[in-house]
Amino acid sequence: MKRLYLIISLTMLAAIVLSSVTASQVLHRLFDKNMRQRMREMQSNLAGLIVERLEEAPESEMDEELSRFQKAVFPQVEIVPADSPAVPQNAGDVSPQAAAEPARRRHAHFTPFRQGKYYLVMKPPTRPGPSRIWPFLLELFVIFPIVGVTGYLLISPIARRLRILENATVKIGGGDLSARADIDDPGAVGDLARRFNEMADRIQTLLENQKHLLLAVSHELRTPISRIRFNLEMLSESREESERVRRAQEMEEELVELNDIVEELLLYLKFDSPNTPMEKGPIEIAAVLGELIDKVNEKKPEIVFRLHTGDSGDLALIANEKYFKRALQNLLDNAIRYAEASVIVACAELGGGVSVTVSDDGPGIPPQEYERIFEPFGRLDDSRSRRSGGVGLGLAIVRRILQRHGGTVSVSAGDAGGAKFTTVWPQPQP
């Protein structure tokens, strides 16, 4: 704070002094020319009056007459002979134009009289007074305390807020991710503190999510790896060919599951980056949903799919087609996995967007689990087999895709008793 205070105070002082000197020089240059011209006119008029009196007086009384003017009117005036060294050469010309022209080199006014025999010399008034250094030092003596107090009053609240921000930064750098800069200020420092807190919230959320995700991934990978290790041990002890083939097939299935987990995890993490390509274009919703339903229905042909488009048979939206299909396919896979007899898919136009819902007639989801199922590897029953519960990232990927599109996904109880997933896809305004 002291260094900041000193820098700003000295800067303010230098600015004041520089502006004062500059303004003084500018004013001097603007008015000095006019002042000199007026001074020459006054000297010429006064010299004319004095010369007129001297011409009338006898030559022997000129000095006495001049002394009266020196005492009463203008002391810087004297009489010199025309041949005096004090008279410049151009003053020897007795023409009115040349004689009336002041000798600028000497800053004096020469006026001839008595047929050019004498010159009346009028010197500029002297400027007695103290040296300019003392007024300047006096100005500094008065200005510096004012600048110092003003600088302190300006800097003190800013420095206090910056110190709070600095302390929060140090705490976060030391590992305390919950530290925040509590600055309630509408000014620039307050805006900086709010941006800092938003950044800290984002960092804390990302690190906590990565920590939870790392724990979840390690848990998910441990099970198939243990199964592969078990089958390898059993394979080495198996003597019958059929048993060896069965063990090899199980290990291959576990490897496929590991590959699926890795691919789903990479896709999930891909949406953490704001640089993920999201090229958008028009999508015919009914056509895409029909294609996805036919593809998913091949897995369980006994499940009946119903597509309801209402009056929106030609409804379209602007989105990334690849990720739109991926999100809806994940929801359809989830519905057909738990559905008992039917799955209903519906789309409708909303104010400023489009909604697509997928509902089934399965066992449903308890309301207290609505949020948990969208977390990575957030299954309703951790003991459930992965072959019935999937990899555990499908719904988390759906939420990430909707978030990147500025939309939402939610779950509620369906009309048939199962789960109903509702996605909302906002549309850009024309």
The torsion region of residue 80 among left (phi > 0), alpha (psi -120 to 50) and beta comes to: beta
Q: How buried is 428 (Cβ within 10 angstroms: 0-12 exposed, 13-18 middle, 19+ buried)? A: exposed
Distances in whole angstroms, Cα of residue 51 to Cα of each of 29, 79, 81, 111, 188: 33, 10, 14, 8, 73
Give me Rg for the CA atoms of the chain.
49
DSSP code of residue 278: -
The string of DSSP codes covering 102-155 is: -BTTTTBEEEEETTTTEEEEEPPPP-----THHHHHHHHHHHHHHHHHHHHHHH
**Strand 118-122 vs strand 342-350: parallel, antiparallel, or unpaired?**
unpaired
Comparing CA positions, the residue from 162, 168, 151 lying closest to residue 190 is 162
The torsion region of residue 354 among left (phi > 0), alpha (psi -120 to 50) and beta comes to: beta
DSSP code of residue 180: -
Q: Is there a contact between 55 and 116 (Cβ–Cβ < 8 Å)?
A: no
Buried b (16+ CB within 10 A) or exposed e, 345-369: bbbebeeebbebbbbbbbebbeeee
pLDDT at 156: 76
Q: How buried is 130 (Cβ within 10 angstroms: 0-12 exposed, 13-18 middle, 19+ buried)? A: exposed
Question: How many residues are present in the chain?
Answer: 430
Distances in whole angstroms, Cα of residue 424 to Cα of each of 78, 207, 375: 104, 28, 19
pLDDT tens across the length of the chain (430 residues): 566 666 766 777 677 777 666 766 666 666 666 666 676 777 777 777 888 877 777 877 778 777 877 777 666 788 888 777 777 766 644 444 444 444 444 467 788 888 778 887 877 665 544 455 666 666 667 777 777 777 677 777 777 888 888 888 888 888 888 888 887 777 777 888 888 888 888 888 878 777 777 777 776 777 788 888 888 888 877 778 888 888 888 888 888 878 877 887 888 777 776 666 778 889 888 889 999 999 999 888 999 999 988 766 678 888 999 899 999 999 999 899 889 999 999 988 887 789 999 999 988 888 888 888 888 776 665 433 344 456 678 888 899 899 888 899 999 988 878 899 999 999 876 5
Q: Is there a contact between 5 and 155 (Cβ–Cβ < 8 Å)?
A: yes
pLDDT at 102: 43
pLDDT at 305: 92
Comparing CA positions, the residue from 411, 365, 406, 373 lying closest to residue 390 is 373
Q: Pull the structure tokens for residue 100.
A: 């009336």
SS3 79: strand
Handedness of CA 67, 70, 73, 74 (dihedral sign): positive
**Strand 304-308 vs strand 342-350: parallel, antiparallel, or unpaired?**
parallel
For residues 316 and 334, give the distance between their C-alpha atoms in angstroms, rounded to a whole number.
24
DSSP code of residue 234: H
Q: Is there a contact between 412 and 349 (Cβ–Cβ < 8 Å)?
A: no
